[in-house]
Amino acid sequence: MTAAAGTEAGLGNLVAQGAVLAGRNLRHRATVEMAVMFVVFPLIFVFGFLLLFGRLFDARGLDYGQFLPPAIVAQWMFTVANTSGAASAADRASGMYRRCLVMPVNRGAIALGRIASEAVGAFVAVVVISLTGHLAGFRFHGGVLAACGFVALAVAFALALTAGTTAVGLSSGDPAAVATLLNLPYLALIMLSTAFVPADAFPGWLEPVIRNSPVSVVIDALRSLASASPSWVEVRGAVVWVAVLAVVFGVAASRVFRRAR
């Protein structure tokens, strides 16, 4: 038996092991089901909703082709986060997570690998939906910088949500239960938001809740970033919400991470 190899300490291990784990996480995403989920479903959603509501909203003077894709983006950021939570649960159930813990694998690399792979997943989803939206008339009217802001905000939103779903996934360890459980806040938050209809379509007493829900705030900021005159105030509101979610979920995730075995 050879002598012990190096320990897990150091930035080099963090980066290199994080990259290896991110690559492994992404290979899980590169399956047929995932391709269907991340390419075919957004297509169906964009054109399905457009077909259902497009003419209805056109009659009201709302360009639904421009209105809808940011909502589908937000929806898919949830999907990225939820599938990631289920993947964390699966890693605990299969013992993969445990194996990493008893190997000289930098503790931070496990988190970094998750963050990196979900960032790539979210980025791909945003690009696919934007291209799909393009066919439906969606355009970035605000220029390249605003378009980059659009992508960055969406990805940041996905990562903040992922911290939360990781906390749930790691503490449960049951992928099927996690997937079901995470659908509840996702559906509630998407329905009770400006995703598919403007805030004034909701009953008056509900409107303030709808307008200020993090999902609405993020979607409205995405719409603003795609518009001809992006509003800094709207974007700032979304950045604050994403930061708050990232801190709260990040703390929860790191606490679970230290405890989960």
Partner 1 sequence: MTQWGIEVEHLRKEFDGKPAVRDVSFTVGAGTLLGLLGPNGSGKTTIINCLTTVLTPDGGRLLVDGCDVTGAPEQVRARIAVTGQFAALDEVLSGRDNLMLFGRLLRLPKRQARQRADELLDRFALGDAADKPVKAYSGGMRRRLDLAASLVVPRPVVFLDEPTTGLDPRSREELWQTIRQLRDDGATILLTSQYLEEVDRLADRVVVIDAGRVIAEGTGDELKGRVGGQVCEVTVPEPNRAAAREALRAFSGEVAEHGEHLVVPVSRPAQLVEIVRLLDDRGIEIDDAALRKPTLDEVFFALTGRADETADGDERAADGDAGTTGRDGERPAGAVPAEGARS
Binding site for partner 1 (CB under 8 A): 1-9, 13, 16-17, 20-21, 24, 27-28, 31, 93-96, 98-105, 173-174, 261
Q: Is 109 exposed, middle or buried (0-12, 13-18, 19+ CB in 10 A)?
A: buried
Residues ≥6 apart with Cβ < 8 Å to 59: none
Give 60's DSSP letter.
T
Distances (CA, A) of 261 to 93, 143, 171: 10, 47, 9
Nearer to partner 1, 163 or 170 (CB): 170
- In this structure, what are the phi and psi dihedrals at residue 30, rounded to the nearest 5 degrees? -85, 45
Least distance to partner 1 from the beta carbon of 166, Å? 17
For the CB of residue 180, give the shortest distance to partner 1 in the complex, in Å. 14
What is the nearest approach in angstroms of partner 1 to the Cβ of residue 92? 8
Q: Nearer to partner 1 by C-beta: 7 or 229?
A: 7
The helices-and-strands tally (H runs, E runs) of the chain is 11, 0
- The least distance separating partner 1 from the CB of residue 189, rounded to whole angstroms, comes to 28
Considering beta carbons, is residue 101 or 240 the nearer one to partner 1?
Answer: 101
Which of residues 46 and 181 has its CB atom nearest to partner 1 in the complex? 181
Residue 117 vs 224, nearer CB to partner 1: 117
Tokens, residue 98: 């445990």
Which of 236, 204, 202 has its CA nearest to residue 218?
236
Minimal distance, residue 196 CB to partner 1, in Å: 34
